[in-house]
Structure 1
Amino acid sequence: MHGAPVIVLNQNVKREQGRKVQLGNVTAAKTIADVIRTCLGPRAMLKMLMDPMGGIVMTNDGNAILREIMVEHPAAKSMIEIARTQDEEVGDGTTSVIILAGEMLSVAAPFLEQQVHPTIIISAYRRAMDDLVTVLRDQISVKVDINNKEEMVKIVKSCLGTKFIKKWMDLACQIALEATSTVAIEENGRREIDIKRYAKVEKIPGGAIEESKVLRGVMINKDVTHPKMKRRIENPRILLLDCSLEYKKGESQTNIELTREEDFVRILQLEEEYVQNICAEIIRLKPTLVITEKGVSDLAQHYLVKAGISVIRRVRKSDNNRIARACGGTIVNRTDELKDEDIGTGCGLFYIEKFGDEYFTFLVECKDPKACTILLRGASKDILMEIERNLQDAMNVARNVMVDARLVPGGGAVEMALSHSLSEKAKSIKGVDQWPYKAVCTALEVIPRTLIQNCGANTIRTLTALRARHAGDGNVTWGVDGETGNIVDMKDFGIWEPYSVKVQTYKTAIETAILLLRIDDIVSGTKRQQGGDDAGGAAGGAPMASEGPEP
């Protein structure tokens, strides 16, 4: 009974093996890279994406584009996954990582056609990746002083130069740096910067982009619960709650059957006493503002208004955590456990302002806020969405530099320098491994080549001139000016990128190429559509992008 396993394939199962699958994966990766290719550099084109609900997105952010594209091919799906990984890990370089991964696979295709075994290509790629990281850290990267404001502004500017927001570059740099340094915390010698959770972006259509600013505190889309409550308090004593200020129902399904009228009166009385009691516990600490994540009953509002306390209810948990960080308060779960040190006193001003039809609560002028809100104004929702995406990238760049204070030259200079130094190393490699190793050098050149193509310069002439520059000693900072396509020294030009973003880009791109080269069999149990061979099939063929016909 314990013989070889039997694989039963029914008629709907499609199976493809060997070279065909590997070359199919290469084609899929190239197709995805081609969709994104025009989105690299300062002269990047925008893509207009339509989602199934009819909404539109206009962006040149690689990750945002790939999130909207629908693909069937499994290799194309893993390409889209790496853009997401890159975005979560370092928040920038999503376009570069896709282009590089596509090119790494593309240069492997000739070897596969010449019957070179994928394991040989993979071992050469692995070796190239290790050498690449060593060269990048020891020879190319430079340390940077993160306390030098001018240096930091230059770094963030190089990130924003390729984005829609570059017209308001100075304002955006200031916002990104201010927000990132506000939420930075030193703990046990480690610096923790959680932008996602504590630097919230609030978008309010209307007004000019120049009116955007970082608030030293928190802003939420709420109003006080009762019209008689104060809407402006200086130096408020803030109490943060995670419990409802209304009569507590039974935890499980509770039914009470009453036969006498007195019992009903007694139950109402109990309810009133309970609410009065929890309000008394709050009033005892003399707060001037109570913020709770749950509801507040009319009766509780009545008691708190009499005590001159303003109340904001049903605040999101994430907002409440931000308020706690900004004003120094503690979120309390039960009113009978309230202590005086739970009150937040770090906020300078509480006020409510109306924008359009909605009311917004501001808790600003905090003494030492470890959370902040970025208020964005702009003409329309679409513009604000794109500005937010750009700002997120800028804040991530600032965060990466603050965590690992090393920089590498931008504008394709670092790729050319790595390509040159790896091709020198390749000369010492014996055997067949030398050729896939050299192919990695060729693949790295795709970044400067794409930059030159996107600004309409002569690709071959510029790339040859750039290679010649890098052949000289110590010329690692020469790259491409993405606006004009000329060759410039990045040291003078002032375009630098965070080391951590680049390392992550190369590692992810090469690892993905290795992973896809190891696949030699795709088995799919999905039914093929009627009417011939469709492009979204289980294995061969390029992926179908939702943008229309295949690129």
Structure 2
Amino acid sequence: MQAPVMVLNANTKRESGRKAQLGNIAAAKAVADIIRTTLGPRSMLKMLLDATGGIVLTNDGNAILREIDVSHPAAKSMIELSRTQDEQVGDGTTSVIILSGEMLHVAEPLLEKNFHPTVICRGYLKALDDAIATIDRISFPIDTNDRQQMINIIQSCIGTKFTNRFGSLMSELALDAVQTVSVDLGAGKREIDIKKYAKIEKIPGGRIEDCRVLKGVMFNKDVVAPGKMKRRIEHPRIMLLDCPLEYKKGENQTNVELTKEEDWATLLQMEEEWIQKTCKQIASFKPDVVITEKGLSDLATHFLSKAGITAIRRIRKTDNNRIARAVGATIVNRPEELKESDIGTGAGLFEVQKLGDEYFTFIVDCENPKACTVLLRGASKDVLNEVERNLHDAMGVARNVVIDPKLVPGGGAVELSVAAEIKEKAEAIEGVEQYPYKAVGQALEVIPRTLAQNCGVNVIRVMTALQAKHANGANTTFGINGNTGEIVDMKELGVWEPYAVKVQTIKTAIEAACMLLRIDDILSGIKKKQAGGAPGPKTQTDDGEGVDSEAALPE
């Protein structure tokens, strides 16, 4: 029986074998080189032009890679790494790209010496296990209840960012937000969902010092009838609905044919009676504020305002979930199913304020919020966007430290310690795996080397001195001062990184490099259409698969 033949369209592009691997390495290095200068406190900024012609100024690796447009599949894969890192731990997006690019760079000479990619990957993964074991040995636990120590940790992690000039303000905001939304699940486990429950609201105007974490929720809405409804209520009873307070039409907008004029009056009467009954039902629970995600008719507004109830309509689902968590209410789907326990009584103050040109509703001073809004004020939208990116990173750091309270020294100290250990252990490995194993140690040195380069010091001299300090597993806390480029003890400088971020960075970088090295074919092509727009005729292969008969391998 003849084996099935892979047949390609004549217009299919194909890169295979060594050419594909070297192409992937070149693409990954190109992406890493774009953001190499954005690492460390002396990082450079990138000016990005977005699709709408707007300008973004940032040194956030993830923000830069989100905006750039690449066509090479390996480069797209690298950009995806940054996004994954951001979602997983919220920090280390620049480091993971630089490290991954370097892992591929050191594999290039091995491929040229005809090392099989599988052998290289085996060496890399063996080195990964040893690297994590070394990081475990260097790391140490911390007390998450020590506020000053926590602020210092967050500060050292986001010290490279734009907001560093505002002192510890961002670190305090991030720590307050994370501690507010933190929920103890018992057995030493915590749930901290900053994406869902810690909303960042940016309002241009005011000063950076006016930024604060609200013990509750704020959203961009005004009351339905400003003249008739209260805009300030202390200790309100809050009812949350997920249904419209307007007369329900037929499921598919039923058409009604009327023969008598009185029938029209009857229809209107039925509608009015239904709305009055629903509003009466709501009013029987004596809520001060009713908030619904759907619409609210003029008639319902009239009945609710008569009952002294303030109403807000068409609020976002996410905002409603945050309010429910902050005030202890339950979102109800039908007014008929309301119970006393569904009413939220945990808020201290309901207030509508005008900030700039718009009205914002504040539900604050909650007893046990478990959800919060971080209010950011600043001179312009560009400043606020950069502050938001920095705050997102800071909250990621705070979350990681609270969930896994272990730290490692920063400034490239961990990478050099791991590199020194890998070089030492490589001598004991027999066979060809020794070379890729040793290459991982060489690649890890890219982080301290890049920090030194961005400081503008003599890189070779600094790196040689630092390697000498880390030799034989000594001085594991020595790294590079990102501001001056000098070799210092990170313990004295107080620069630390969360254990979770460091481990995730090295894992992601090595596993991504292995994945890209194992690619030996890149295929792309659009199926040729016949004149009538239909695909070409198919021929049958021995296994019954249909392939294009007109296809041929490219020259």
Separation in structure 1 between the aligned mates of residue 457 and residue 232 of structure 2, nearest angstrom: 58
Query: Do structure 1's residue 70 and structure 2's residue 72 form an aligned pair?
Result: no
Equivalent residue letter for 2:60: D
How many pairs align?
Answer: 525
Paired residue secondary structure (2:38): coil
User: Offset at 1:472?
Assistant: 5.1
User: Offset at 1:171?
Assistant: 1.1
Structure 1 gaps, min length 5 = 528-551
Separation in structure 2 between the aligned mates of residue 253 and residue 262 of structure 1, nearest angstrom: 22
CA contact (8 A) 2:421 2:473 kept: no
Paired residue secondary structure (1:350): strand
Query: Do structure 1's residue 142 and structure 2's residue 154 form an aligned pair?
Result: no
Separation in structure 2 between the aligned mates of residue 474 and residue 256 of structure 1, nearest angstrom: 87
Equivalent residue letter for 1:98: I
Query: Do structure 1's residue 93 and structure 2's residue 92 form an aligned pair?
Result: yes
CA contact (8 A) 1:141 1:499 kept: yes
CA contact (8 A) 2:293 2:315 kept: yes
Deviation string, structure 1 residues 344-380 (Cα, Å, up to 9, x no partner) = 1100011111111100000111111000000000011
CA contact (8 A) 1:29 1:102 kept: yes
Query: Do structure 1's residue 373 and structure 2's residue 373 form an aligned pair?
Result: yes
Aligned residue runs from structure 1 range 79-90, under 5 A:
79-90=78-89
Separation in structure 1 between the aligned mates of residue 267 and residue 412 of structure 2, nearest angstrom: 75
User: Offset at 1:8?
Assistant: 2.2
Separation in structure 2 between the aligned mates of residue 430 and residue 472 of structure 1, nearest angstrom: 21
CA contact (8 A) 1:400 1:498 kept: yes
Deviation string, structure 1 residues 441-464 (Cα, Å, up to 9, x no partner) = 000000000000011111001111
Match of 2:532 in 1: none
Identity of aligned residues (%): 65
Structure 2 gaps, min length 5 = 528-555
User: Offset at 1:498?
Assistant: 0.5
Q: TM-score, normalised by structure 2?
A: 0.93
Separation in structure 2 between the aligned mates of residue 93 and residue 175 of structure 1, nearest angstrom: 20
Deviation string, structure 1 residues 382-408 (Cα, Å, up to 9, x no partner) = 110110010010001000011111111
Match of 1:165 in 2: 163
Match of 2:502 in 1: 502
CA contact (8 A) 1:160 1:169 kept: no
Match of 1:52 in 2: 51
Alignment partner of 1:175 out of 154, 166, 173:
173
User: Offset at 1:526?
Assistant: 5.4
Separation in structure 2 between the aligned mates of residue 284 and residue 175 of structure 1, nearest angstrom: 40
Separation in structure 1 between the aligned mates of residue 3 and residue 200 of structure 2, nearest angstrom: 59
Alignment partner of 2:152 out of 149, 154, 161:
154
Separation in structure 2 between the aligned mates of residue 432 and residue 136 of structure 1, nearest angstrom: 26
Aligned residue runs from structure 1 range 221-300, under 5 A:
221-226=220-225, 227-300=227-300
Q: Return closer, same or farther for 1:473/1:116 CA change in 2, 3 Å cut-off.
A: closer
Paired residue secondary structure (2:361): strand
Deviation string, structure 1 residues 513-537 (Cα, Å, up to 9, x no partner) = 000110111111159xxxxxxxxxx
Match of 1:185 in 2: 183
Separation in structure 2 between the aligned mates of residue 380 and residue 132 of structure 1, nearest angstrom: 44
Match of 2:211 in 1: 212
Paired residue secondary structure (1:523): strand
CA contact (8 A) 1:236 1:349 kept: yes
Separation in structure 1 between the aligned mates of residue 261 and residue 444 of structure 2, nearest angstrom: 84
CA contact (8 A) 2:329 2:345 kept: yes
CA contact (8 A) 2:235 2:347 kept: yes
Paired residue secondary structure (2:329): coil
Separation in structure 1 between the aligned mates of residue 342 and residue 18 of structure 2, nearest angstrom: 66
Match of 2:385 in 1: 385
Deviation string, structure 1 residues 278-303 (Cα, Å, up to 9, x no partner) = 10010000001111101110000101
CA contact (8 A) 1:122 1:514 kept: yes
Match of 1:533 in 2: none
Match of 1:465 in 2: 465
Paired residue secondary structure (1:344): coil
> Which region of structure 1 is more displaced relative to structure 2, 148-157 or 3-12?
3-12
User: Offset at 1:229?
Assistant: 0.4
User: Offset at 1:11?
Assistant: 2.4
User: Offset at 1:64?
Assistant: 0.9
Query: Do structure 1's residue 349 and structure 2's residue 349 form an aligned pair?
Result: yes
Separation in structure 2 between the aligned mates of residue 321 and residue 249 of structure 1, nearest angstrom: 27
Provide runs of 4+ in structure 1 moved above 4 Å: none
Match of 2:513 in 1: 513
Separation in structure 2 between the aligned mates of residue 179 and residue 526 of structure 1, nearest angstrom: 49
Match of 2:435 in 1: 435
Separation in structure 1 between the aligned mates of residue 433 and residue 511 of structure 2, nearest angstrom: 17
CA contact (8 A) 1:41 1:162 kept: yes
User: Offset at 1:188?
Assistant: 3.9
Aligned residue runs from structure 1 range 466-485, under 5 A:
466-471=466-471, 473-485=473-485
Paired residue secondary structure (1:286): coil
Match of 2:32 in 1: 33
Separation in structure 1 between the aligned mates of residue 220 and residue 19 of structure 2, nearest angstrom: 55
| Alignment root-mean-square deviation, CA | 1.1
